[in-house]
Amino acid sequence: MKQYLVLDEWKIIEKGFKPDLQERSESIFSLGNGRMGQRANFEEKYSGSSLQGNYVAGIYYPDKTKVGWWKNGYPEYFAKVLNSTNWNGINVLIDDEELDLYKCKVSQFSRILNMKEGFLEREFVAELKNGKKIKVNSKRFISIVDTEIAAIRYSVTPINFDGDISFKPYVDADVENQDANYEEKFWAENEKRVNNDKAFLNVRTKKLDFHLCTGIAYKIFQDDKRVNVDAKIVEKDKYISFNFSVNSKKNIETVVYKYVANLSSENHEKNILTSETEKVLDKAINKSFSNLFEEQKDAWAEKWKVCDIQIKGDIAAQQGIRFNIFQLNQTYTGEDERLNIGPKGFTGEKYGGSTYWDTEAFCLPFYLSTAESHVAKNLLLYRYKQLGKAIENAQKLGFDNGAALFPMVTMNGEECHNEWEITFEEIHRNGAIAYAIYNYVNYTGDKEYLVKYGLEVLIAIARFWSQRITYSQEKNMYVMLGVTGPNEYENNVNNNWYTNIIACWSMKYALESALFVSNNFFEDYQRIVKNNNFDDELEISKWKEICNNMYFPYDEKKGIFLQQEGYLDKEQILVKDLDKSNLPINQNWSWDRILRSCFIKQADVLQGLYSFEQNYNLETIKRNFDFYEQRTVHESSLSPCVHSIIASKIGDNKKAYELYLRTSRLDLDDYNDEVAEGCHITSMAGTWLAIVQGFGGMRVKNGELNFNPTIPKQWDSYSFNINFRGYLLNIEVLKQQIVLTNNSIKSIEINVFGTKYKIQQGKSIFINH
């Protein structure tokens, strides 16, 4: 852990310049608005360690696989969200000496991410080698109102001199991805255009022909008065800058306003992209920085009204959950069904920024409860529209009859993960897609989704499982061979308990959904049967046979579900008995040693008990939790939240709080020493789950909300909002009382500790506990 940030309820604050932590801070202080995002790179030149990053949603590059691409069924490329045009640059020179914090003396440095209002601010004093001192303040934001606009206010104040200060606001697409397989640059130039104090750089990807146009404009002020400058225009390949000098006086602030418009061919015609960019840029200029900023603050205030979680008495916990919610809202808005949630969002390159099973397993519940239903629905439609590709993915591996294997990693529905043990074996992801459909229908009551979209996906997934599972004459049961479960520290295992469970559940849910559609929407059912060549009687019979005769590894002596066959053959060592110098093991051990160990990366058996808790008694859940948690190193960001939720359920409040704090501050305190690569966006939804489903005990059963709240002893109270089927509820949990408020226009019935209560519109009820 690296705890270098100041605790604050609404802000992430860094005091003092720390070059060795720069890349970590660039991740943590990132900005985004769902359409574009940016790491917290400095505006001025910085020659120290830095990961430059500007990203535009939907634009990616198929980077040819470096290892194994020749294998049958193996992806030929890895889809990478591109480091795109750098638009925030403003270089500064004083007497021909460039401002570079890595080379000059820096004092009074602070960097603040204001989560309440959605902006990044930085301030410092720099002493250059020539002895001149300046005070710099920068403030920037990416608008969540006009999602193709960003703006920067960058000011320089001389402290001990009068003289000229040179500025170079620029736009630069001559950039590269640090993770490029062949060290190539992915962008080519289409055109440049300069119009007075505006510049436009239009570029395209070398493959797939995505186009991106970035427009910049600048305004200069001193003492709140506009200053006109004679700028020299510098043009290079994929680069434009305005170079000018301003005569500055001691203690007089010079302000550069930089306006940015970023438009892509995903949303505009290519032949008019530059002219459309100019329209958007003019809109930004005409609004002015201050008006854009006021709109930004107001829009974030509206967001926080619904999605905020308040924790009293524990500032570290409060800061952690707000940081997670803030980053989730910066990453995905749900307004475009073509988009999804990359594990790193707009904060870094790792994982390619592509879509993983994290979205369905962890993110969907957050958006179900904190946004309008169409936001979560669009996440499901993203997968539905890629069903054809999922069927192709399965065909490449030898499956037929419309069986679908949804990809582990994708941008367009095509599998592009480059590790065989994941691509071919971590097939439990298919179950996550099916479970997400169930989760959505169960939460919203929108059963018509099954009719229009869901059933076709469920049939294709069930077909995959029925073909992937084999019959063992030795066991006289059905088995699943050669898989990787959620615990990726095991590969090519037989009968992973979770994978077997989710496979059988998926087939059962598919047949239940088929029966529902057949009974209630017969004409639609006939359409689905015809379009999918669905032999319902024969196929459903096969699914039932498998589910009724599936093998699930179990140890009678210990009374636990075995993670996979042979798990207990491993040397059983507990994490607490490891020397701390071994952790994290993924950075200190060979892969061979990890695979032979009993240590678990993330919830595996416990993932199944979390998803299907209704099928197991509390004693069974507790026994498995106590066994597996002690062997779990939590080196996946997705791990602590599931364990925290289960710990809350079984009454282990100490462990629940410990793991909540770990998941909520995973990036802020850099638990796994990897935040420099980007924040763990998808697992941030798990932090929300740890409070709402964990401490709050929220479940949806039979179309009704249920709560079984507990409260960590470290907290005085906590509260959260739930958007449920048109109702907006606030749940506040204090030490001895629970307050439930119905902020809706009609009454609602809910269950608390198993007792049903009716709450009138605009009213609250009080329950002692």
Helix, strand or coil, per DSSP, at residue 570: coil
Q: Is 588 exposed, middle or buried (0-12, 13-18, 19+ CB in 10 A)?
A: exposed
Token duo for residue 588: 């200190």
> Would strands 77-81 and 755-759 be described as parallel, antiparallel, or unpaired?
unpaired
Residue 169 · residue 22 · CB < 8 Å: no
- Amino acid (one-letter) located at 611: S
Peptide bond into 158 cis (omega under 30): no
The yes-or-no answer on residue 488 being catalytic is: yes
Cα 506 to Cα 512: distance, rounded to the nearest angstrom: 10
> What single-letter amino acid sits at 205?
T
Tokens 């073909």 belong to residue: 467
Tokens (6 digits) for 373: 């239903």
Location of structure tokens 């080379």: 103
The Cα angle at residue 355 between residues 352 and 357, in degrees rounded to 5: 125
Find tokens 């046979």 and name the residue.
545
Query: Which position has the token pair 């032979």?
Result: 596
101 closest CA partner among 54, 142, 48, 57: 48
Rounded CA separation 33/336 (Å): 12
Report residue 17 as tokens.
């310049």
CB 426 within 8 A of CB 448: no
10 Å Cβ neighbour count for 765? 15
Start-end of H helices in 308-451 = 315-331, 358, 364-370, 373-384, 387-396, 420-423, 429-444, 448-449
Neighbours of 430 (CB within 10 A): 29
Ramachandran category for residue 571: left, alpha or beta (phi over 0 → left; psi -120 to 50 → alpha): beta
Residue 626, token pair as written in the block:
């106590």
Q: Pairing relation of β-strands 149-158 and 133-142? A: antiparallel
Dihedral (CA of 575, 577, 582, 583) sign: positive
Largest CA distance in the chain: 89
What is the C-alpha separation between 231 and 161, in angstroms, rounded? 23
CB count in 10 Å sphere of residue 716: 11
Helix, strand, coil tally for the chain in percent (to 5): 35, 25, 40
Task: Yes or no: say if 753 and 769 are a contact pair by the CB < 8 Å rule.
Answer: yes
- Three-state DSSP state, 599: coil
Marked catalytic residue, from 117, 121, 488, 539: 488
Residue length of the chain: 769
Contact 299, 145 (CB under 8 A): yes
The CA-atom distances, in angstroms, between 654 and each of 37, 665, 690 are: 37, 17, 13
Burial (Cβ within 10 Å: 0-12, 13-18, ≥19) of residue 735: exposed
d(CA 228, CA 220): 7
- CA dist 703 and 713 (Å) reads 32
CA 252 to each of CA 156, 160, 221, 509: distance values in angstroms, whole numbers, following the listed order: 8, 11, 11, 69
Task: Yes or no: say if 256 and 220 are a contact pair by the CB < 8 Å rule.
Answer: yes
Catalogue the active-site residues. Answer: 488
